[in-house]
A and B are shown apart, each in its own frame.
Chain A
Amino acid sequence: MLHEARSGHTGGSLSAVDAIVALYFHHMRHNPSNPRDPDRDRFILSKGHAVPALYATLAECGYFDVGELLTLRKINSRLQGHPANTKTPGIEVSTGSLGQGLSFGIGVALAGKLDGKDYNVYVMVGDGETDEGQIWEAAAAASHYKLDNLTALLDRNRLQIDGFTEDVMALEVASERWRAFGWNVLEVDGHNMREILDVLHKADAHKNQPTMIILHTVKGKGVSFMENKVQYHGVAPTDEEYKKAIKELDELEKKILEKYEKRR
């Protein structure tokens, strides 16, 4: 998708995708044939630049045709470079200017409480994104209003555009910061499906507080030469990189399927 578009954010999409897949395929209540179902659980991608991961997930779920993914970032496409709710089925709100999605999620969670609905709201936030002041305005408001129907997922891949988060603008100890703001904080390996699903159930069950799940992730996960490399934040793979990456991912897929078959 990104290779075809010749632009986009590879690293942050790969760190985020496992949790997004877990939410859409195994956790959230949602209906691809009725994306506006008022009782749906909501997923909001506050780190909008990782939208290729979300588009791929939405397409596999049936929100739109998988073939459409190759129109990403091209003229007349519904798949904009950053999420656009007015264009793409399944997108809740337009993001891409960092810091706003968590606040939007608070509004959705407040509406759920007002209407007595039992849906949950999941907001994925980038670690670099928590540099934004609005994130902390939202952090205070969510705990003030005791929004236990709101769960944030922090994609803690430890990199932002200009380098390591701890060099650009230190945000450790992240868990202590969120706890201090009144959140229930859980930490998990953001690439371990079983652990992610387990922690999502814990988050849903927690009462009187919003939950922050810190996903310990690897930027560029799954492609050896991209992993933990800051230069893959905002670029698409070249022809050669693309071939190499696809080969690695195909091998990985084969391995996973073999393991799965053995278990059965």
Chain B
Amino acid sequence: MGKLINPRDVYGDTLVELGEINPDIVALDADLSKSTKTCKFCYRFPNRFFNMGIAEANMVSVAAGLASCGKIPFVSTFAVFVPGRTYDQIRMSVAYSDMNVKLFSTHAGVSVGKDGVSHQMLEDLALMRVLPNMKIFIPSDPVITKKIVYLMAENKGPMYSRVGREPMEIIYDEKELEDLKIKRMLHIKDGDDLALIACGTMVKNAIEAGKELEKKGISTGIVDAWNLKPFDNHTIDKIAKKVNAILTIEEHSVIGGLGGAVAERLSETGYKGRFIRMGINDMFCESGDPRDLLEKYGLTIKHIVNQAEKMV
């Protein structure tokens, strides 16, 4: 296993880096700055950091007000709270008002672990995907996390990004991501039999599963759907022409997230191959060690390999 880096640390450090370059960058948190790592920004730029207390609805609308004056607010807390608690504030003050607000949430997914269902956000991608004007980015490793934070700061408009609680292995080197473009998924590897389309924490698992499948003689393509919205129909269409089996994998409900988005495109374009969504199957999970949870709820490398084998 490669070196592990926590994407939350990358987020906090990158925010400081951006803060040095651009005085308009400000950050807001709701009493979780030590967990989201916006505390790093607070230490460096105390005047440009606003702790809004445990009051997320207010925080989101305050960020919109800051954005209306040319500030670039990064809003952070756990994903269960933003967007979880604040759908209407995001809808009205941010998306409909088209404000340049950057929502960067942490502790998304079941791998939050022992805190249990109250803290395991598995519906955020669905919630944000239905909002006009919203762009969605899901980092799959520490390197792309940094790239995405830059991209959020440098491009105008409402944006949402989420990372998990756990450290991540490095997948990319910076050079590979030099010309990362919005609305262009990352084609990690080509394959003729099957394509694994994954996002966030599941990209690494998909890569490892792909290696196992190749050993078994199944030519496997791997795609990192880091940019869920605006959706890259082009890449999906290309894959659909090439392979007879497509499997999506995400640490999110199978409804409305990556699997939902791919399913919509495939059915609209008349895909004739096999298609399966892997994720959390429309249920609440439970407390437990992150590894035990991913094992029980079916999101390990082994689960991906087993599912893929059945499809080709």
| A94-B92, A100-B61, A138-B58 given; A107·B66 CB < 8 A | yes
Nearest-neighbour CB distance to chain B for A132, whole angstroms, equals 9
Count contacts between A and B, CB distance < 8 Å.
Answer: 108
Q: For the complex, what is the distance from the CA of A254 to the CA of B87, rounded to whole Å? A: 49
Residue with the greatest number of chain A CB neighbours at <10 A, chosen from B58, B64, B93: B58
Whether A57 is near chain B, meaning CB under 8 Å from some CB there, is no
A123 to chain B, nearest CB (A): 10
Q: Mark A88-104, 1 if CB is under 8 A from B, else 0.
A: 00001111110111011
Contact status A106-B65, CB under 8 Å: yes
Q: Which residues on B sit within 8 Å (CB–CB) of A109? A: 65
Contact with B along A74-86 (1 / 0, CB 8 A): 0000000000111
- Per the bound structure, the CA–CA distance linking A95 and B99 in Å amounts to 13
Q: A103-B57, A104-B61 are in contact. List 17 more A-B contacts (CB 8 A).
A: A38-B69, A84-B96, A86-B97, A93-B93, A100-B88, A106-B62, A107-B64, A108-B68, A111-B66, A111-B68, A112-B69, A114-B71, A134-B57, A134-B61, A138-B58, A141-B55, A141-B62
Majority SS at the chain A contact face: helix
Contact across chains for A108 and B53 when beta carbons are under 8 A apart:
no
Interface of B is mostly: helix
Within 8 A of A (CB), among B65-79: 65-71, 73
Q: From known contacts A107-B64, A114-B71, infer whether A94 and B97 are also in contact, taking CB-CB under 8 Å.
A: yes
| Interchain residue pairs A-B with the least CB separation, the first 9 | A107-B65, A103-B61, A111-B69, A137-B58, A137-B55, A107-B66, A107-B62, A104-B65, A108-B65
Number of residues from A at the complex interface, CB < 8 A: 33
CA distance A94 to B73 in the complex (A): 18
Residue in B58, B73, B96 whose beta carbon sits within 8 Å of that of A134 in the complex = B58
User: Any chain B CB within 8 A of the CB of A105?
Assistant: yes
Contact mask for chain B residues 243-279; partner A; CB cutoff 8 A; 1 contact, 0 none:
0000000000000000000000000000000000000
In the complex, per-residue mask of A110-130: 1 if CB is within 8 Å of any chain B CB, else 0: 111011000000000000000
- Are A107 and B63 touching (Cβ within 8 A)? yes
Residue of A nearest to B96 (CB): A94
- The answer to whether B98 and A86 have CB atoms under 8 Å apart is yes
**Cα-based distance from A96 to B97 in the complex (angstroms):** 12
CB distance from B279 to the nearest CB of A (A): 30
The answer to whether B70 touches A104, judged by C-beta atoms less than 8 angstroms apart, is: no
Taken residue by residue from 55 to 89, chain A's Cβ proximity to chain B (1 for < 8 Å, 0 otherwise) reads as: 00000000000000000000000000000111000
Query: 14 pairs across A/B with beta carbons < 8 Å?
Result: A93-B93, A99-B57, A100-B57, A100-B89, A103-B62, A103-B64, A103-B89, A104-B93, A105-B65, A106-B61, A107-B62, A107-B65, A115-B69, A138-B62
- Known pairs A100-B89, A103-B93, A104-B93; A110 contacts B58 (CB<8 A): no
Cα distance A200–B55 in the bound complex, in angstroms? 29
A133 CB–B CB distance under 8 Å: yes
- What is the bound-complex CA distance between A145 and B60, given in angstroms? 16
Q: Complex: how many Å from CA A158 to CA B57?
A: 26
Bound CA span A191–B70, Å: 35
Q: A104 is contacted by which of B48, B55, B62, B96 (Cβ under 8 Å)? A: B62
Is A197 in the interface zone, CB < 8 Å from B?
no
Q: A140 interface residue, CB < 8 Å from B?
A: yes
